[in-house]
A and B are shown apart, each in its own frame.
Chain A
């Protein structure tokens, strides 16, 4: 089916889709970046487990069971192909993110970080999707050679829903327990312990280096550095990063030697103990069943879109 749009229809349709999207994105940015000056690079990163001690049902869930349940659900959500089911997965994830009763700012930040890539998909896929027999094509006035595939738009919207669903699940998954507990749980599930140690070290170093970097960058700005697209900027930034590596190496080298002096033998003592009760297993069972139900409905193709 081919539909040739008039100018009024084209303009109205575009506005009807683009305006709510732009408004949502604007509000998201406002909320996430509240209280920050514009134009400055945003280098603030908050620790993943700032709200790791809480009392929601996600906080009380045994970390091993939580990892299994939520990871399986995340993969199930990522595998969906129907828009209606992807919306359902998004609703479930949103409910989970709200239910862990930690500030939503972290979750919204994740959505904002992905928004660029997802917007690109929303803009590009409808115009470049593969042609299928019997699909609905919209022709915008002035663009006779560039049909707008309605199927492509649905596909892009499905991806947006799935990606947001998985992103929202990250907060219940990792922010509802101290990172050490989550990593100890990973080790119990068979992840090599050395990987967990490295994640822990990196997570700590990142904040140290971030502090160092913003200090160095501030002094560059004070000395008149203005980033531009030229060789001088590449030179300045290259030296800046080189200096950052050298300083980081030397600093952490000293820290490592101090750790050795204090008896570090390649492992961190862990006091995490895990006891899974019936309710932990029940929660995991529920999440796995939810994922399985979504996948089954998706494979049966009962829904029109």
Chain B
């Protein structure tokens, strides 16, 4: 789910670019210098994970996992998402360079919220981690789809139909994302629980 260049009116494009830039600048200021390489690790592993396509009926969907990014990185997840999207448009252009701000908002805000939510939901048991992972995984994708629809609706009345269809098309993706996120989080809980502490992957 990406918006390509030229869909949004220039005012929305520029406004979302400014907000995203502010978010990245804030994220950068809060992150310590030693953490940067670790954020790069999470960013690139999620970049690679987004290349995994799961079959869905006649078509396939690719994973985004904004919820898990939020759980792993906490406040730094916005920075990570912005970087990941920039690399995507650098390497094969899903969403373009001029739409980068809008795409960053679309994925970055859900990741931030899910990071917060994950920290409050996760208890100390495996089951609660699984539930928190599923909720954050599903909700992250739902929020991203809602922001996508809202941005498209901002582009004008001509795009209402597209916004609705994009939202509907993502309903199955919520469930796939929720399932995979839950299993990924429980796996990490069993193997390396300190990664899930949020606020950056402390080593």
Contact B161 A166 (CB under 8 A): no
Contact B93 A110 (CB under 8 A): yes
Q: How far is the CA of A128 from the CA of B192 in the complex (A)?
A: 49
A6 contacts the other chain (CB 8 A): no
Contact B183 A167 (CB under 8 A): no
Contact B176 A234 (CB under 8 A): yes
Interface size class of A (residues with CB under 8 A): 35 or more
B40 contacts the other chain (CB 8 A): yes
CB distance from B29 to the nearest CB of A (A): 10
Q: How far is the CA of A116 from the CA of B184 in the complex (A)?
A: 28
Contact B184 A238 (CB under 8 A): yes
Contact code string A191-215 (vs B, CB < 8 Å = 1, else 0):
0101101110111011001100100
The interface-forming segment of B31-39, B104-112, B120-128, B139-147 is B31-39
Given A166-B5, A239-B187, A242-B188; A198-B45 close (CB under 8 Å): no
Contact B179 A199 (CB under 8 A): no
B167 contacts the other chain (CB 8 A): no
Q: How far is the CA of A120 from the CA of B180 in the complex (A)?
A: 27
Contact B93 A128 (CB under 8 A): no
Contact B5 A201 (CB under 8 A): no
Contact code string B85-107 (vs A, CB < 8 Å = 1, else 0):
01101111110111100000000
Of chain A, the residue at the smallest CB distance from B62 is: A41
Contact code string A166-186 (vs B, CB < 8 Å = 1, else 0):
110010011000000000000
Of chain B, the residue at the smallest CB distance from A89 is: B6
Partner pick for A242 among B25, B84, B89, B183, CB 8 A cutoff:
B183
Q: How far is the CA of A245 from the CA of B183 in the complex (A)?
A: 13
CB distance from A139 to the nearest CB of B (A): 17
Contact A117 B44 (CB under 8 A): no
Contact B187 A242 (CB under 8 A): yes
User: Within 8 Å CB of B7, what residues of A?
Assistant: 121, 159, 163
Given A78-B6, A244-B49; A234-B179 close (CB under 8 Å): yes
CB distance from B179 to the nearest CB of A (A): 3
Contact code string A41-80 (vs B, CB < 8 Å = 1, else 0):
1010110100000000000000000000001001101111
